[in-house]
């Protein structure tokens, strides 16, 4: 289906971060855009304010008239997270509408454009957001579909005048294999989504297939240490072809130097903490240099990058309280997040409120979760957020808690969590998780801001 032929688009699961970016893209094109999601969120409210009609009832009776009958100019985009028994999804299937997954549509949009695709089980949202910011801030320009809300733009979608597109290449259900990038970045291949892949080897093989999707004259950047062949390596070790070094913390900002055979950039200043974010920035810098952007413009852009919401986002920062929120939901992400907090605040007692995401992920990585969660000072553990899954017998937060060696630990619900935080007034609080833990951000902010 050609883009020019599409005049009406309906999104089944429009509230997803990737889906909403696509919705904004089609709306900017002047296409009629509507959608369904089960929950009204800040993101869907933003879409409504932008003129997009969103329905919250899974029933075909609520569909707009424009989407009641099949039409050649109509496209239905859905996310695999939508249950197979969804009434709206099955209405479109049963009535012969053209349906495509989000990733397929990204493939169509990026076809014929200069595509920069960022893949990886961790780091892809931050890396793609830094790339998009450098390109936008420098005046080079790009259109970007991001997996998070970039703070500088308060959006997950940027639109540019040129034919350069930046996309996140999502490994979930192998959807990134619809892309044929000009520049690819692989940030990590740690085991995840084993409910889809079965084992880590299958996941790694799929990343190799993604690497092979690169156009013949394209460039692949691979984080140093990954066994993906034919890539330009990047990282914090001197062995990497492009690397970051001389890392130090000054006034709560990380400073570092960028080095490659062709270019050195000294004293880069990054607002995002943690060595993992310096690695993300190094990859983004390498891409920008490949595109011919001047080193000084890159340095200025890096210094002005404000981050991505729910990626090490400061919610409260006062003399008495530091409260940070992060999307981390995999053991390696948690470790990187905790390490960054400890580097910035080594003397403070760390209280963590964590919501596990998915029963299968909790089961598959229980030992790793237990190890990393045992490193904090106080742990408050919420029930597992099921997302698309049904419960697994015996797999719950108490089961996970029993594996954690920490003394100060407990399983609680959200209401009790708020009360505990109110009573204890922790000096350093970190909320982490990919479910609906973000609904606690504002209540916690109120509690700690008025202490």
pLDDT at residue 366, as a whole number = 94
- CB 333 within 8 Å of CB 310: no
Half-sphere exposure of 210 (CA within 13 A, CB side): 35
**How many residues in the chain?**
451
Q: What is the pLDDT of residue 229?
A: 85
Question: What pLDDT, on the 0 to 100 scale, is given for residue 198?
Answer: 56
Mean pLDDT of the chain: 90
Domains and CATH numbers, the chain: 7-101 (3.40.50.720), 111-304 (3.40.1190.10), 313-449 (3.90.190.20)
pLDDT for 185 equals 95
Is the confidence at residue 390, as pLDDT, over 70?
A: yes
Residue 330 binned pLDDT confidence (cut-offs 50, 70, 90) = confident
CA distances from 360 to 318, 354, 392, 395 (A): 38, 16, 8, 8
Over range 285-306, report the average pLDDT: 97
Does the structure show a pLDDT above 90 at 181? yes
Task: Summarize pLDDT for 77-117 with one digit per residue, the tens.
Answer: 998 778 888 999 999 999 999 999 888 898 889 888 999 99
Mean pLDDT of 372-387: 94
List, in sequence order, every beta strand (DSSP E) within 322-450. Answer: 322-326, 350-355, 378-381, 409-411, 428-433
Give 423's pLDDT tier (boundaries 50, 70, 90): very high
What is the mean predicted confidence (pLDDT) over 173-189?
Answer: 85
Element (H, E) at 156: strand 155-158
For 210-222, give one letter per residue: b (16+ CB within 10 A) or e. Answer: bbebbeeebbbbb
Asked if pLDDT for residue 192 goes beyond 70, the answer is no
């Amino acid at each position: 289906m050609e883009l020019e032929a599409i005049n009406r688009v309906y999104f089944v699961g429009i509230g997803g971060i990737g889906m909403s970016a696509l919705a904004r893209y089609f709306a900017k094109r002047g296409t009629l855009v509507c959608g369904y999601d089960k929950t009204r969120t800040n993101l869907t409210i933003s879409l409504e304010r932008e003129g997009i009609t969103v329905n919250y009832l899974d029933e075909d009776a609520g569909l707009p008239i424009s989407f009641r009958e099949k039409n050649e100019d109509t496209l239905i985009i859905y996310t695999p997270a939508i249950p197979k028994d969804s009434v709206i999804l099955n209405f479109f299937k049963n009535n012969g509408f053209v349906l495509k997954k989000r990733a397929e549509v990204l493939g169509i949009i990026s076809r014929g454009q200069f595509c920069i695709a960022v893949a990886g089980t961790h780091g892809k949202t931050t890396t793609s957001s830094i790339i998009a910011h450098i390109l936008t801030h420098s005046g080079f320009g790009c259109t970007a579909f991001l997996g998070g809300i970039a703070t500088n733009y308060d959006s997950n979608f940027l639109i540019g005048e040129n034919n350069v597109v930046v996309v996140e290449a999502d490994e979930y259900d192998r959807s990134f294999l619809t892309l044929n990038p000009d520049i690819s970045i692989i940030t990590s291949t740690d085991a995840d989504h084993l409910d889809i892949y079965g084992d880590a080897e299958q996941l790694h093989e799929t990343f190799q297939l993604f690497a092979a999707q690169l156009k013949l004259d394209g460039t692949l950047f691979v984080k140093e240490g990954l066994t993906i062949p034919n890539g330009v390596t990047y990282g914090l070790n001197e062995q990497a072809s492009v690397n970051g070094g001389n890392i130090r913390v000054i006034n709560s900002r990380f400073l570092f130097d960028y080095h490659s055979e062709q270019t050195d950039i000294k004293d880069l200043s990054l607002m995002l903490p943690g060595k993992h974010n310096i690695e993300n920035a190094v990859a983004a810098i390498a891409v920008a240099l490949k595109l011919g952007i001047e080193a000084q413009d890159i340095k200025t852009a890096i210094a002005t990058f404000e981050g991505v919401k729910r990626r090490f986002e400061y919610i409260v920062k006062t003399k008495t309280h530091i409260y940070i929120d992060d999307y981390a939901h995999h053991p390696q992400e948690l470790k990187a997040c905790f390490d960054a907090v400890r580097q910035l605040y080594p003397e403070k007692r760390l209280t963590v409120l964590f919501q596990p995401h998915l029963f299968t992920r909790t089961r598959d990585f229980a030992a790793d979760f237990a190890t990393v969660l045992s490193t904090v000072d106080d742990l408050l553990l919420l029930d597992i957020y099921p997302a698309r899954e049904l419960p697994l017998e015996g797999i719950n937060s108490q089961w996970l808690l029993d594996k954690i060696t920490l003394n100060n630990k407990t399983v609680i619900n959200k209401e009790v969590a708020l009360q505990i935080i109110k009573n204890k007034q922790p000096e350093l609080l970190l909320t982490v998780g990919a479910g609906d833990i973000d609904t606690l951000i504002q209540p916690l902010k109120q509690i700690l801001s008025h202490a």
